[in-house]
Amino acid sequence: MSADSILTTVRQYLEFDPTVPVTLTPITKGASGRTIVRVVTEEYEPFIGISWTDERPDNDFYPKVAHFLEEKAGLNVASILHENLKWRVALVEDLGDEDLLDLKDEPWKEREPYYRSAFRQLDKLFYCRAAKDVEFNPSFDAGMYRWEQEYFFDHFVEGLQGGDAEALREAPEFLQLADRLGASAKHLVHRDFQSQNLMRVDGKAYWIDFQGMRRGRQEYDLASLIYDPYMDHSAEEREKLMDLWEDIAEDRPAEQVFRECAAQRLMQALGAYGNILRNRKDEWYRPHVPVAARFLAEVTEGLPIGEKLKPVLESAIG
């Protein structure tokens, strides 16, 4: 039904009758719960069709957030060409297939311009005031951070690792972490700021999959990109990224806050990997589990939650 909705919307937008050929090629990368296709016709340049259901409420935020980011915030995103919100369909600019993850094995000089571009936009977002007519997802409060922790306990500790997470659920250190981060200042964050969601277009980084945008801590996005399990940055590379961020933002985040945001993000990522591996049987994510576990062990070393997590992370790292 999703592909049919996209095709009907395309024909309406282009004013094509049913005899004009239109090709829809699925784009399967990612786990956003949407149907995404490349639309190809003989007369027009290719563009992207996106369809979603009401299964994930955050997807309904995509069109207005996209308009806001492009028109008000001045960020690099795909322009929306046409939308049919009744059918939950959007037709957007085609940014191509090259993302930041493709540069994983390339030298730093090849990656640096795209990280610089991404960081400049992240810094710009920090100072951007949200328009009153744009609705975002619920803010990162203590309850949202706690939800991420529970997601990690359910799908990773118990679901994927087969452990017992009851002691972790009852540990006050996790509740205190959620309370600390949830009481912080609120700025707009992408919420899934990682290499697959940064497309490479004409030497610049373009943001995608930002439908989960909400108010929270900027350090969460920064940690998401620096401790990106897909890229598996070395300590030296992470330091280069921090230097680059300091050059742009003229400041470094407080170390403990940054480490705590990294811990939250990595718990969320491991929960997602567990959920996808068990319920979607998508084995592409499995090699990233030990990387994320290793990162989580590193950022929590010396923190109150570190000793609590140590046994389950050691078994995941192998």
Kindly report, as residue ranges, where domains of CATH 3.30.200.20 are found in the chain. 2-93
Q: Which residues contact 32 (CB under 8 A, 6 or more apart)?
A: 56, 59, 209, 211
Beta carbons within 8 Å of 154's beta carbon, 6+ residues apart: 165, 271
Q: Residue 32 pLDDT more than 90?
A: no
Instruction: Residue 261: name the closest of 168, 186, 180 by CA.
Output: 180
What is the residue-averaged pLDDT of the chain? 95
Contact 296, 270 (CB under 8 A): yes
Tens-place pLDDT, residues 123-140: 999 999 877 778 899 999
pLDDT of residue 31: 56
Among 4-13, 32-41, 169-178, 207-216, name the one with the lowest average pLDDT: 32-41
- What is the rounded end-to-end Cα distance, in angstroms, of the chain? 43
Angle at 211 between CA 206 and CA 215, to 5 degrees: 100
Encoded amino acid at 17, one letter = D
Q: Which CATH architecture has domain 2-93?
A: 2-Layer Sandwich (3.30)
Altogether, the residues listed in the chain come to a count of: 318
- Residue among 64, 78, 84 nearest 10 (CA): 84
- Residue 57 tokens read as 């409420």
Asked if 143 and 182 touch (Cβ cutoff 8 Å), the reply is: yes
With 70 as the cut, is the pLDDT of residue 30 above it? Answer: no
For residue 309, the model assigns a pLDDT of: 97
Q: So what's the pLDDT on residue 241? A: 98
The whole-angstrom separation of Cα 106 and Cα 262 is 24
Closest by Cα among 302, 87, 303, 125 to 225:
125
User: Which residue in 312, 241, 230 sits closest to 265, CA to CA?
Assistant: 230
CATH of 100-317, one of 3.40.50.300, 3.30.300.30, 2.40.30.10, 3.90.1200.10: 3.90.1200.10
Q: What is the mean predicted confidence (pLDDT) over 109-128?
A: 96
Q: Rounded distance, CA 296 to CA 308, Å? A: 12
- How much is the average pLDDT of 288-311? 97
Task: Report whether pLDDT(116) > 80.
Answer: yes
CA–CA gap between residue 265 and residue 268 (Å, rounded):
5
Q: Find the mean pLDDT for residues 297-315.
A: 96
Enter the tokens of residue 257: 């806050």
For the segment 224-248, the average pLDDT, to the nearest whole number, is: 98
Pick from 130, 128, 151: nearest CA to 139: 130
pLDDT tier at 2 (50, 70, 90 boundaries)? Answer: confident
Say whether pLDDT at 26 is over 80: yes
All CATH 3.90.1200.10 domain ranges of the chain, comma separated, are: 100-317
Alpha-helical (H) ranges within 233-305 are 235-249, 255-275, 288-300
